[in-house]
Structure 1
Amino acid sequence: MNAPVASPADAIAVIDPTSYAEWSTALDLFDRLRETTPVVRIESPEGEFDPFWLLTRYDDAMRVSKDNAHFLNAPRPTVFTNKQGEEFARQFTRLQGEESPNLVNSLVQVDAPKHPKLRRLTQEWFMPKNLRNIEAAIRELAVKTVDRFVEASKGGTEVVDFVPLVAAPYPLHVVMQILGVPEADEPRMLFLTQQMFGGQDEDLNKSGLAALTPDQILQIVTGAVTDFETYFEGLAADRRANPTDDVATILANAQIDGEPISARDRAGYYIIVAAAGHDTTSASTAGAMLALAQDPEQFARVKADRSLVPGIVEEAIRWTSPVQHFMRTATEDAQFGDVTIKAGDWLMINYVAANHDPAQFPDPRRFDATREANRHLAFGAGAHQCLGLHLARLEMRLLFEALLDRIEAAELAGEPKRAKSTFVGGLKTLPLRIRAV
């Protein structure tokens, strides 16, 4: 017996960016679907997108994430896209000489045998052994960021927005230094990232329009991708002429099987490091601060016992799940309980749902720095597990150590707002009042 088809209202809610801006409502939806139809077919009421299977259970999401032989990133879009968006991407990339359903060709989009070869180009750079070489520099940046944040509060008399003052600029600066982007260009990188990942949100795409059409959103995202590609091709040319010890130099001169990687692969690599390398960490950082501001007892406990900081970091990454989904395509028939997913079917691994599955995480909506066995899926799993996971953990740990050194208490000073986004999401505002040490 196959799983039932979701109601039209539920189908729209799953792919509507505004759904994820209302976090509790989104979690309610996934809880209900997980309880009643954990593997459910999502069909378009108006036919604007192809049907897919939604996975809401942790175990199912883990299975698909780790089985890269039977659930491919290609040949369908790796992020949910309507029919218009997929056709546009194919036309756009066809002009570049390599047709694809994805505008960007990064580690996220490709499968074996190409994927492991691309990943090995920079994998050692992002391992803990190498990151120890830059830990002192990141710690110094964390301290400076917190100092500016405390200064902006003017002794606690001013409301300070944690997102633009801390959560956005801090990881941005770290990853841009690693990539080799000049500090003067960081505002441009932030703007393009917000347009690419936040194209559905009027505040992040800078349009000011709350009801953009799919075509308008597509144009914003495509413009950001094109600008990214142009910028990074210029950076690559510079690094070939003037090599340094940064990641940009590695990619500018990278070869696979004795041949230089293509311009499209190189641009995709730059983009995934530059954009995903800070936007996701920004979301988790803001989420952690929100949780601490909402729970003064937990804030005091962590401040008194710094051994809990890694737990704060890990729980924040699970609790916020910044990468909200990825899509996969089945290579052969697969059984999920009573549901048969056919070869060629499209699936959505919903990490928000999986990371809030009570079968894996007791009381999943509670933020708990002491949560044990926190084997979340926010970084993915298997061959496609996030390349920058060690860097993200390091950045967040150093920042919260600095914050706890300088801040005695923090409380909400307004309503936090989340981004409208189906893909990468998190807080876009977090107004606080703080009391400095």
Structure 2
Amino acid sequence: MTSTTHSPSDLRIPDDVAKQIVLPEGHRDDARLFEAYRWLREHNPLGVAEVDGYDPIYLVSKHADIMEIERQPDIFTSAGGEDKGRFNPILANQAGDAFTKSINNGSLRILETLTYLDPPEHTVIKDIAADWFRPNNLKRWEDTIRTLARESVDRLLATDGTIDFVKDFALQYPLHVIMSLFGVPESDEPRMMALTQEFFGTADPDAARADVEPLTPDAAAKQWVATIQDFYAYFDGLLMDRRANPTGDLASIISTAKDENGEYFAKEVAYGYFIAIATAGHDTTSSTMAGAVHALAGNPGLLERLQGDLSLVPNLVNEALRWASPVKHFMRTALRPYELRGREIVPGDRFMLLYQSGNRDAEVFDRPDVFDIDRRPNRHIAFGYGPHMCIGQHLAKLELKIMFETLLPRLRAVHLAGDTKFIQTNFVGGLKNMPVELEFDPR
């Protein structure tokens, strides 16, 4: 960022606020994190964070500004526009980016996945699986998902109700759903779970890999790359099997996709899709589910109301998505001059889009810090906005709707039974631990 290396006083964000948001460890304390977001929105909604070890970046805290940036990929690139791989669409420190470039021919494009692409290339790759994720196609899978939800709830009912809701339930169901629809054998699901936690938990000591030296400046980037390579090794077998023996599942659709010349897309394109589906395809749904149950634990009247009218479940899902916002950020970079909120933007300026903050913007949401299923309209941006809006959003909503329709009638009460903990990450994540005591309806 050239224009803000030495920020004027009206641009620079106080160090404590900047560190709370930029550093992964700041996301362990949910209360302080959301207070930092609130401070930004009220005092410096488009300010510059200067944190040691990181390039200076704009923190974009307002709903309208996030949408303005997201809808213009020709101005605010995800990864570099024509100069592919120049920028990282996920915030990393300087040491991490330097390591990635050192092992990737000077490029930060470490994955051939939608996150790292800009239109028109992004559009071509997204279209490979776009039809599969449309609501009309997903209706074919509703009975399958409902069966998986019933099986998950039945296993829960077989316990005494004293569980860690995140580890013992919320993580399991979405993983089983997406792997079943994807075509990954159930026996391999534990491997997918472990790799997902390593993939999104690069800054969390509890998810550290044994083959990466901890606490070094580039440890997170090294873990990211090592986990990607493990995913590649696993998914190569799946890719080749589906090309030889397509079954019609999602893995087959991606594996057998061909480019405009009638040739298979490069293996790396399929790997990128597979990794996105195997990670974000369930982790974000788990975080949203846990956030919703955490909210219900503090509002027994809401649980009773939902049980009396399950037609309100889609409202619960939408509000849970706003509330949890498990995708915390993506990065964008200006390709040409622009004016945003009175700031003169120059090419190379970097922007951290704070979706959690945008989803608590009082200019958009009445009483934003209240969990309210009656919110109308609920214009949350938990799935992003514009061309990069999440391809799997309809599947995530369907999974959550079916699970709550299945689970809520069997619950009499939800009690928090200990301290909750959050994943140490500034990228994708939510609750890591949530001890609860569940009372079941005996019917």
TM-score by length of 2: 0.93
**Which residue type is aligned with residue 132 of structure 1?**
K
Shift of 1:187: 0.4
Shift of 1:307: 1.5
Shift of 1:245: 0.9
Q: For structure 1, list consecutive stretches of 5 or more residues without a partner in the other structure.
A: none
Aligned mate of 2:245, from 237, 242, 246: 242
Pairs within 5 Å for 1:88-127: 88-94=99-105, 100-127=107-134
Indicate whether 1:160 and 2:163 are aligned: yes
Q: Distance in 1 between matches of 2:439 and 2:209?
A: 32
Indicate whether 1:391 and 2:395 are aligned: yes
Indicate whether 1:365 and 2:369 are aligned: yes
Q: Is the 8 A contact 1:77 1:102 kept in 2?
A: yes
Q: Distance in 2 between matches of 1:11 and 1:110?
A: 28
The aligned residue for residue 139 of structure 1 is 146
Aligned mate of 1:64, from 44, 52, 69: 69
Pairs within 5 Å for 1:26-425: 26-45=33-52, 48-75=53-80, 76-94=87-105, 100-153=107-160, 156=161, 159-205=162-208, 212-258=215-261, 259-425=263-429
Residues 378-411 of structure 1: CA deviation (Å, up to 9, x unaligned): 1011111000000000000000011112111111
The aligned residue for residue 29 of structure 2 is 22
Q: Distance in 2 between matches of 1:283 and 1:270?
A: 20
* Matched-pair identity in %: 39
Q: Distance in 1 between matches of 2:282 and 2:103?
A: 26
Shift of 1:337: 2.4
**Which residue type is aligned with residue 94 of structure 2?**
K
Larger CA deviation: 300-309 vs 255-264: 255-264
The aligned residue for residue 17 of structure 2 is 10
Q: Is the 8 A contact 1:49 1:81 kept in 2?
A: yes
Q: Distance in 2 between matches of 1:381 and 1:256?
A: 27
C-alpha distance 337-125 of structure 1, shift in aligned 2 (>3 A): same
Q: Is the 8 A contact 1:74 1:111 kept in 2?
A: yes
Q: Distance in 2 between matches of 1:308 and 1:43?
A: 44
Q: Distance in 1 between matches of 2:330 and 2:147?
A: 35
Shift of 1:266: 1.9
Q: Distance in 2 between matches of 1:416 and 1:306?
A: 28
Q: Is the 8 A contact 1:202 1:210 kept in 2?
A: no
Q: Distance in 2 between matches of 1:210 and 1:369?
A: 45
C-alpha distance 213-152 of structure 1, shift in aligned 2 (>3 A): farther
Q: Distance in 2 between matches of 1:364 and 1:418?
A: 21
C-alpha distance 24-211 of structure 1, shift in aligned 2 (>3 A): farther
Shift of 1:210: 13
Shift of 1:149: 1.2
Give the match's secondary structure for 1:84. helix
Q: Distance in 2 between matches of 1:140 and 1:178?
A: 13
Residues 297-341 of structure 1: CA deviation (Å, up to 9, x unaligned): 111111111111001101111100100000001121121222112
| Count of aligned residue pairs for this structure pair | 427
Q: Distance in 2 between matches of 1:321 and 1:92?
A: 32
Q: Distance in 2 between matches of 1:137 and 1:55?
A: 40
Q: Distance in 1 between matches of 2:225 and 2:315?
A: 38
Residues 18-40 of structure 1: CA deviation (Å, up to 9, x unaligned): 21121111010111111111100
TM-score by length of 1: 0.94
Name the Cα RMSD after superposition.
Answer: 1.8
Q: Distance in 1 between matches of 2:249 and 2:35?
A: 44
**Which residue type is aligned with residue 417 of structure 1?**
K
Shift of 1:206: 6.2
Residues 201-258 of structure 1: CA deviation (Å, up to 9, x unaligned): 1223366x99733333332222111100111111101111111111111221212222
Q: Distance in 2 between matches of 1:316 and 1:242?
A: 40
Residues 143-177 of structure 1: CA deviation (Å, up to 9, x unaligned): 11111112112xx4xx2111122210111011111
Shift of 1:418: 0.9
**Which residue type is aligned with residue 213 of structure 1?**
T
Q: Distance in 2 between matches of 1:405 and 1:183?
A: 27
Q: Is the 8 A contact 1:92 1:103 kept in 2?
A: no
Q: Is the 8 A contact 1:201 1:210 kept in 2?
A: no
Q: Is the 8 A contact 2:297 2:414 kept in 1?
A: yes
C-alpha distance 370-412 of structure 1, shift in aligned 2 (>3 A): same
Q: Distance in 2 between matches of 1:332 and 1:373?
A: 34
Residues 261-316 of structure 1: CA deviation (Å, up to 9, x unaligned): 12222211111111110011110011011111111111111111111100110111
Q: Is the 8 A contact 2:99 2:222 kept in 1?
A: no
Q: Is the 8 A contact 1:149 1:160 kept in 2?
A: no
Q: Distance in 2 between matches of 1:347 and 1:381?
A: 15
Q: Is the 8 A contact 2:423 2:432 kept in 1?
A: yes
